[in-house]
Amino acid sequence: MNANSDNRTITQKAYDEAVKRGVCPLFKGTETLEELMRLLNSTQGIEFMQDHPDYPLDTLRLAKPYKVERFGVYIDAGEIVLNNPPRKLLLIGNTTAIITIDKAHRCRLGLIGGAKADVTAKDYACVFIRKQSGSLCTYKALDHAIIK
């Protein structure tokens, strides 16, 4: 099997699991791995995961070897430190992040599958947090920063 067929297999497995739970109409099952990660890391993707805590994380873990961090998705990444992360950031499973945003920057952070984060926002940073039950996030806003 080549990387493209592996990626399609991951996408198809993710789609099959989503269909069982009332798939989001944005998800067609024909996406590339990059498209799947971007969809998962969208507001609708995080809402879907919040609404379906029974979604098997093992399906998403199939994508881990493909370095999905480049899409802002961290799967079972262990302990990580992120400074001024991408605008869209998703932490999944066994991931514990210390996140600092110290400039005028906007970030939407999603946590699913028990992921944890400690967020410090400074200056004029804006951070929007969405989390699935079982995931934890502590945060502090300094200066003029906003965290919601």
- Rounded (to 5) percent helix, strand, coil in the chain: 30, 30, 35
Residue 13 in this model has a pLDDT that exceeds 70: yes
pLDDT digits (tens, 9 = 90+) for 35-71: 989 998 998 888 888 888 888 899 999 999 999 999 9
2-16, 38-52, 134-148: range with highest mean pLDDT: 134-148
Distance set, CA 15 to CA 9, 50, 74, 144 (Å): 10, 16, 20, 41
Q: What pLDDT, on a 0 to 100 scale, did the predictor assign at position 66?
A: 93
What mean pLDDT is predicted for residues 16-41?
83
Distance set, CA 51 to CA 9, 112, 119, 132 (Å): 24, 11, 24, 8
Q: The pTM is what?
A: 0.89
Q: What pLDDT, on a 0 to 100 scale, did the predictor assign at position 14?
A: 81
Residue linked to tokens 């098997």: 56
- Cα–Cα distance measured from residue 71 to residue 89, given in angstroms and rounded to the nearest whole number: 8
**Is-contact 56 118, C-beta < 8 A?**
no
- Cα–Cα distance measured from residue 84 to residue 86, given in angstroms and rounded to the nearest whole number: 7
| Cα dihedral sign, 51-56-59-64 | positive
Q: How confident is the model at residue 92 (pLDDT cuts 50, 70, 90)?
A: very high
Q: How confident is the model at residue 106 (pLDDT cuts 50, 70, 90)?
A: very high
